[in-house]
C-alpha cells in the first residue's frame, strides 16, 4: 500500500481533491445553499454525471467539506492557543477564543456550515464527531491545566450543580479529568457564550448594537474567564 498504487488511483485521488477544493471555493463565495455539483463539474470541464463517480451525492461532498471545516477551525484554535506560555492560562483561553472568532470571520460561510442551522435535508453523519471536538478539546485542556496547576479559583456564583448534572457529566469528564463538576458546567456556559457571540455577530444580530466587536468580545471572554476562575 504505497502512496502511489496505480496511476488510476493517483489521478482519482487528485481529482477528488480538486473537486473538494472547487467546492470549498464555491462554498466560500456562494454559501452552503449555492453549492452546486453541476457548477463544480462545469468549472472542472467535466460533465455533471462524472462527478458522481467521486461523490455519490451532494450531501457526501458537503460532509467532507464539514469535516474539513471542523479540522481547519480546530487547527486555527490549536495554533492560537499554542502560541501562549503554558502557564498563562487566561492568555491561552483568550487566544483560543480569538482564534475561533478570527477563523469564523475569515470563513463565514464555512462557519455557518458548522455552527449554523443544519442544511435542509442533511443529517450530519457520525464521521464528523472526531473533527468536531478539536476546538472544544483545546478549551477544555486550558481549564484542566489550570486546575492541575492550582491556578483556577472560581468565585462563588449561584447555586451548586444539580445532582442529575453531576451524574450526567460522564462524557465531559473524560476530556476534563480532575475538573470539579461545577467548573465543568461553567466551562460549558463559557463555551455557549463564546459560540453564541460568534454566531450572533456573524449572522448580523449585533449590527447597530456594538461597533467595536473585537474589544467587546474580548471583554466578554475575559468575564467568562473570571467566571471559571482564570486570572
Partner DNA sequence: GTTCGTCAAGAGCAGTGCTCTCGTTTCTGG
Partner DNA sequence: CCAGAAACGAGAGCACTGCTCTTGACGAAC
Interface with DNA by CB under 7 A: which residues?
Answer: 5-8, 12, 15, 35-39, 45-50, 52-54, 56-59
Nearest distance from C-beta of residue 107 to its own copies, angstroms: 13
Instruction: Work out which of 46, 59, 64, 116 binds its own copies, going by CB under 8 A.
Output: 116
The three three-digit cell numbers of residue 187, written as one number? 466551562
Q: Which of 72, 100, 146, 227 binds its own copies (CB under 8 A)?
A: 227
- In the bound state with its own copies, the residue whose beta carbon lies nearer, of 54 and 169, is 169
54 vs 61: CA distance, rounded Å: 9
- Tell me whether residue 4 or residue 164 sits nearer to its own copies (CB atom): 164
Q: Among all chains, which residue has been given the C-alpha cell 460561510?
A: 109
Let me know: does 185 contact 161? Beta carbons within 8 Å. Answer: yes
Task: Give the per-residue contact string, 137-166, with its own copies (x = CB under 8 A; - = no).
Answer: ------------------x-xxx-xx-xx-
CB 113 within 8 A of CB 67: no
CB 228 within 8 Å of CB 152: yes
Contact partner at residue 171 from its own copies, DNA, none, CB < 5 to 8 Å by partner kind: its own copies
Count CB-CB contacts under 10 A for residue 163.
9
Q: What is the largest CA-CA distance in the chain?
A: 64
| 3-class SS of residue 89 | helix
Does 222 bind its own copies (CB under 8 A)? Our answer is yes
Ranges within 202-221 binding its own copies (CB under 8 A):
203-205, 208-212, 215-216, 219-220
Nearer to its own copies, 85 or 121 (CB): 121
CA–CA–CA angle 147, 179, 85 (5° rounding): 35
Closest distance between its own copies and the C-beta of residue 135, in Å?
11
Amino acid at each position: 500500500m504505497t502512496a502511489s498504487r496505480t496511476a488510476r488511483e493517483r489521478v482519482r485521488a487528485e481529482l477528488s481533491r480538486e473537486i473538494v477544493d472547487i467546492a470549498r471555493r464555491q462554498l466560500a463565495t456562494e454559501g452552503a445553499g449555492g453549492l452546486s455539483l453541476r457548477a463544480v463539474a462545469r468549472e472542472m470541464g467535466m460533465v455533471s454525471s462524472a462527478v458522481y463517480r467521486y461523490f455519490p451525492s451532494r450531501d457526501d461532498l458537503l460532509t467532507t467539506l464539514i469535516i474539513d471545516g471542523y479540522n481547519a477551525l480546530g487547527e486555527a484554535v490549536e495554533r492560537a492557543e499554542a502560541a501562549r506560555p503554558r502557564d498563562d492560562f487566561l492568555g491561552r483561553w483568550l487566544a483560543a477564543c480569538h482564534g475561533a472568532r478570527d477563523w469564523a470571520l475569515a470563513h463565514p460561510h464555512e462557519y455557518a456550515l458548522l455552527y449554523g442551522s443544519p442544511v435542509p435535508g442533511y443529517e450530519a453523519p457520525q464521521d464528523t464527531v472526531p473533527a468536531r471536538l478539536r476546538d472544544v478539546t483545546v478549551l477544555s485542556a486550558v481549564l484542566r491545566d489550570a486546575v492541575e496547576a492550582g491556578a483556577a479559583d472560581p468565585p462563588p456564583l449561584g447555586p451548586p450543580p444539580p445532582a442529575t448534572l453531576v451524574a450526567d457529566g460522564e462524557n465531559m469528564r473524560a476530556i476534563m479529568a480532575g475538573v470539579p463538576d461545577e467548573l465543568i458546567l461553567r466551562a460549558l456556559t463559557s463555551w455557549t457564550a463564546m459560540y453564541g457571540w460568534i454566531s450572533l455577530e456573524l449572522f448580523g444580530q449585533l449590527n447597530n448594537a456594538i461597533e467595536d466587536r473585537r474589544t467587546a468580545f474580548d471583554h466578554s471572554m475575559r468575564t467568562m474567564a473570571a467566571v471559571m476562575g482564570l486570572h
